[in-house]
Amino acid sequence: MRFRSSTFLVLVLMLLTASLAAGQQPQTAAASKTRIVLSGTGNPGPDPDRSGPATAIVVNDTAYLVDFGPGVVRRASAAFPDKGIKPLEPTKLRIAFVTHLHSDHTVGYSDLIFTPWTIGRRVPLEVYGPKGLRAMTEHLLEAYRVDIETRTNADGNQRGFPEGHNVNAHEISPGVVYKDANVTVTAFATKHAMESYDYRFDTSDRSIVISGDTNPAQETIDACRGCDVLIHEANTPAWLATRPDTFQRFAAKYHTTTTQLAELARQAKPRLLILYHYSGLSREELFDDMLAHYAGPFVIGRDLDVY
Ligand SMILES: [Zn+2]
Ligand SMILES: [Zn+2]
């Protein structure tokens, strides 16, 4: 489904108006050193147009992934030839953060561990996330023991770089969890069915917050507070009304409606709100519902959009 051209126009005008009102040029990916690549905006349902949740923050020559849903390596690698974003070339994927351990955010983990290695990544993967990440990592490596042994024995074609499938799994708590010359990454506890975090990235030119799955959280507002970009999940009330009672009760505690997101964004005041990991009756219904409740600049993310 696509936007009607009229809704595109409304959105463009909104973005221009907001930027000009602030006395600045509209912020574009080209004008910014830090780029956001929506490498997966999808849900558990296997929609071929929307890969599982994964977002790449790209700074200079390094990509930082948040979540690794199904299809993560293939979708990220599509940004390399299609959009010219070299740090998303698979062998360069080496740093990732996970918001929580639900399967729709993590079934791409073995893909992220093994696919880049088989084509030449030489260094271990560094992964940050909640408690349970270390055990998940150990179990995955054990599950693929036959593959690893075969690839690294005397006949193995990865024996020249045996470290590339290793993972350093870092279990985190709220606060600064990662820092290098490009980024400082801060984790904020969120409200989901298990230990969960959103992540704020601060770079030399941008501040970006990614929600993961959560009920509206004061921590997300605190994480953003006028940030450049807030990337947040959302479901429309009309879509939720079509779901089974058990999911409606679950979503009321652990996810965010468009109405709630509008209120949260009014307090968080991002310069741009990007919806991802969303569901609506249709793309237009989702867009119109947000437009009815939120006057700030927002977009409905699509896979491989770059901001
Ligand atoms: Zn979840
Ligand atoms: Zn999810």
Sorting pLDDT into bands at 50, 70 and 90, what band is 81? confident
pLDDT, residue 18, reads 41
| Cα–Cα nearest to 214, from 47, 34, 53, 78 | 53
pLDDT, residue 243, reads 97
CA–centroid distance, residue 299 to ligand 2 (Å) = 19
Say whether pLDDT at 80 is over 90: no
Q: What percent of the chain has pLDDT over 70?
A: 90
Instruction: Please report, to the nearest 10 degrees, the dihedral formed by the alpha carbons of residues 273, 279, 282, 284 taken in order.
Output: -10
CA–centroid distance, residue 144 to ligand 2 (Å) = 25
Region 202-214 average pLDDT: 98
pLDDT, residue 15, reads 46
Cα–Cα distances (Å) from 179 to 109, 142, 198, in that order, read 22, 30, 16
* Assigned token pair, 205: 């030119």
Contact status, residue 35 vs residue 289, Cβ threshold 8 Å: no
Angle, CA 284 vertex, CA 26 and CA 199 arms, to 5°: 55
Instruction: Please report, to the nearest 10 degrees, the dihedral formed by the alpha carbons of residues 239, 242, 243, 246 taken in order.
Output: 120
CA–centroid distance, residue 222 to ligand 2 (Å) = 22
pLDDT, residue 237, reads 98
Q: Given strand 298-300, what is the order of strands in its sheet?
A: 175-179, 184-189, 197-202, 207-210, 229-235, 272-279, 298-300
pLDDT, residue 31, reads 55
Say whether pLDDT at 67 is over 70: yes
Q: Name the closest ligand to CA 42.
A: 2
pLDDT, residue 32, reads 65
Region 132-158 average pLDDT: 96
Cα–Cα distances (Å) from 161 to 15, 134, 150, in that order, read 47, 23, 13
The contacts of residue 132 (CB under 8 Å, 6+ apart) are 101, 171, 194, 195
The contacts of residue 127 (CB under 8 Å, 6+ apart) are 95, 96, 97, 98, 133, 137, 167, 168, 169, 170
User: pLDDT per residue over 255-273, tens digit each?
Assistant: 999 999 999 999 999 999 9
pLDDT, residue 4, reads 44
Identity of residue 151: R
Tokens 């088989």 correspond to what residue? 118
pLDDT, residue 20, reads 36
CA–centroid distance, residue 212 to ligand 1 (Å) = 8
Q: Provide the mean pLDDT of the chain.
A: 91
CA–centroid distance, residue 83 to ligand 1 (Å) = 29
| pTM score, whole prediction | 0.90
CA–centroid distance, residue 288 to ligand 1 (Å) = 25
pLDDT, residue 29, reads 53
